[in-house]
Amino acid sequence: MKKIKYYLKNIAGWSTIRKIVVFESDDWGSERVQSIRHYNDLLRKKIITDENDYNKYDALETSEDLASLGSVLSKYSDRNGNSPVFNMYYITSNPDYEKIIENNYETYEDKLFTERLRELGDHESYFKCLNKYLESKVFSLAYHGREHLCVKPFFRLMKSGSHSIKKSIDNSFHSIDHPSLPNKATCFRPSLFFSNIDEIPFIKDMLLDGIKKFKDIFKQNPISFCPPNGISCSEFDDLLFKNGIKAIVTQKIRYEPDGRNNFKKSYRLLNKKKHKIYLFRNCGFEPMHTKMNVEFCINQIEAAFVMKKPAIISTHRLNYNGSINPEYRRKGLAHLERLLSEVTKKWKNVEFVSTAELVKIMSSK
């Protein structure tokens, strides 16, 4: 029954007879937890009780993480001699906890992930490695947002004197659950969530500021955007399209904020809408923290190809992050190697392309 669903979800949308595989990877540049010491402190102080892998291992990636991932991708090639491309969706900033505390919790401040790299002494090595794999075209850059945090609800609770929020800030952490949040806004993760319509102008400014920061950091314009946790709305889509974004990742059934601290459903069954391109991720590969393992992903790729769809694989940075535990990264990359080996053996005519290349292909038809 589950396999039937893999086929059904590929009925609508843009089609191609080409065996195209795209890897899309979220959360690069974000810093959920700073270190294992911080994680243990959060548990001990009961700021978090959920011992999930994101809370434990999802720290800012290192140059070693980039080098290890790039090395694995470079081992494999498609029918055209091209290696798999990881489209890395970047968050440009994280909360600046020190400044927030200095300002007595009265104002919110953000810190560029590049500044954090400098603090960790990894900035030069990081960008040397990143540029190496951008040039060899196994990495490609995309926009995920300014923060992975719905700032306004978080800031409002912070100013109101919420003990749990202040306690999390004091421990350099923000992804805590709160009873005021609806289920799909859990842990303040979806940065485009708004609890009332008065927050919309701030989010628009934040989106544009993030694009500016992206351009300043990477010296290029972002082509595609994926909203954190998949939460967004048409008003934000329009803003992004008007400011240079060519494609937006979405679901065919998307949950949009309703302005009353809840959500409503919207439907997008077609990839193109008045020259606006929407990308549907139809495959999942999260081997380190879910049941979305190699077999699961292969079955979804096969369904996509049978239904004449590109296989767009969602795979989070967490799976390849060894900044806290190198063994975690090693295991994640071993799963990735097995997936790439099976894909290249099973489909001799597979084509690995970047998201930007896929957008060009879709735009030409």
pTM (predicted TM-score):
0.97
Q: Are strands 272-273 and 276-280 parallel, antiparallel or unpaired?
A: antiparallel
User: 10 Å Cβ neighbour count for 201?
Assistant: 10
Cross-strand pairs, 256: 264
User: 10 Å Cβ neighbour count for 105?
Assistant: 18
Predicted pLDDT of residue 274: 66
Cross-strand pairs, 24: 87, 314
The pLDDT tens digits along the chain (365 residues) read 568 999 999 998 999 999 999 999 999 999 999 999 999 999 999 999 877 999 999 999 999 999 999 999 999 999 999 999 999 999 999 999 999 999 999 999 999 999 999 999 999 999 999 999 999 999 999 999 999 999 999 999 999 989 999 999 999 999 998 999 999 999 999 999 999 999 999 999 999 999 999 999 999 999 999 999 999 999 999 999 999 999 999 999 999 999 999 999 998 877 776 679 999 999 999 999 999 999 999 999 999 999 999 999 999 999 999 999 999 999 999 999 999 999 999 999 999 999 999 999 999 86
Residue 98 token pair: 């020190």
Residue 24 token pair: 């899309």
Our CA angle for 363, 304, 279, nearest 5°, is 35
Report residue 85 CA to chain centroid gap. Answer: 15
Predicted pLDDT of residue 364: 87
Predicted pLDDT of residue 148: 98
Q: Are strands 276-280 and 283-284 parallel, antiparallel or unpaired?
A: unpaired
Contacts of 345 (CB under 8 A, 6+ apart): none
Contacts of 123 (CB under 8 A, 6+ apart): 114, 117
Burial of 306 (0-12, 13-18, 19+ CB in 10 A): exposed
- CA distance linking residue 319 with residue 336, whole number of Å: 9
User: 10 Å Cβ neighbour count for 49?
Assistant: 10
Predicted pLDDT of residue 365: 67
Superfamily name with CATH number, domain 2-363? Glycoside hydrolase/deacetylase (3.20.20.370)
